[in-house]
Amino acid sequence: MTTSILTYLEQTSPYDVRPAKDSTAEIRRVEEVSPEFARYFYSSVGGDWHWTEKLKWDWARWIGHLTRPAFETWVAYAGGVPAGYIALKGEGTEVEVENFGLLPSFIGRGIGGHLLTVGLQQAWTFPERHPELSEVTRVWLHTNTLDGPHALANYKARGLRPYKTEQEERPDADGPPPGPWPGANRSAAL
């Protein structure tokens, strides 16, 4: 059974955000609920990193997930094509970065740091768009050793601080990751 190390990171002030260099990518908020679009990103971004939990979800479960209160998805577009996304969920006085990543062909082009910067800035302004949150006191996420090799460094570079680590057993990570879609037949992203 594969064991991974989970690292939890947080910011406790909007002043903690350390912006990355802007990229040419355009970052836009998703305004329409689309399970197809959300699943496309989840499988295409996470396929190389053993993101498998949500692949079993049916359409109704995706709708429920996407229509939760204080939930947002922001997408980076490069050359007119979706390049990556960040999903944010507010609850109480906290905002969690639920998912974040780039499509494999956009890794290493400076888009990830810019997208994460914008996502963190948007997380800190959640009460402006979600009045059920009176304030945000913390933005947090977790990553693990199965994620992209530059994920943890990007999170730290944007001002997120580790506050806890733990081991997790991942039987779903035994063997190669599923890739972006069944039969893609390409090597994993670097």
Find, among 65, 66, 73, the residue nearest to 29 by Cα.
73
Q: At 105, list the tokens.
A: 């062909």
Count the neighbouring beta carbons within 10 Å of the beta carbon of residue 58.
8
pLDDT band at 12 (very low <50, low <70, confident <90, very high): very high
Does residue 174 have a pLDDT over 80?
no
Please state the separation of Cα 168 from the chain's center in Å. 19
In DSSP terms, 88 is beta-bridged to 72, 97
Other residues' Cβ atoms within 10 Å of the Cβ of residue 154: 18
pLDDT at position 179 over 90: no
pLDDT 10s digits, 82-115: 999 999 999 999 999 999 999 999 999 999 999 9
Q: Residue 189: pLDDT above 70?
A: no
Output the pLDDT for position 45: 92
pTM of model > 0.85: yes
Note whether 95 and 126 are within 8 A (CB).
yes
Phi then psi for 164, rounded to 5 degrees?
-165, 145
Q: Which residues contact 156 (CB under 8 A, 6 or more apart)?
A: 9, 162
Distance between CA atoms of residues 179 and 75, nearest Å: 20
As its CATH architecture, domain 2-173 has 3-Layer(aba) Sandwich (3.40)
- For 36-86, the pLDDT digits (tens) are 999 999 999 998 888 888 989 999 999 999 999 999 999 999 999 999 999
What is the C-alpha separation between 125 and 128, in angstroms, rounded? 6
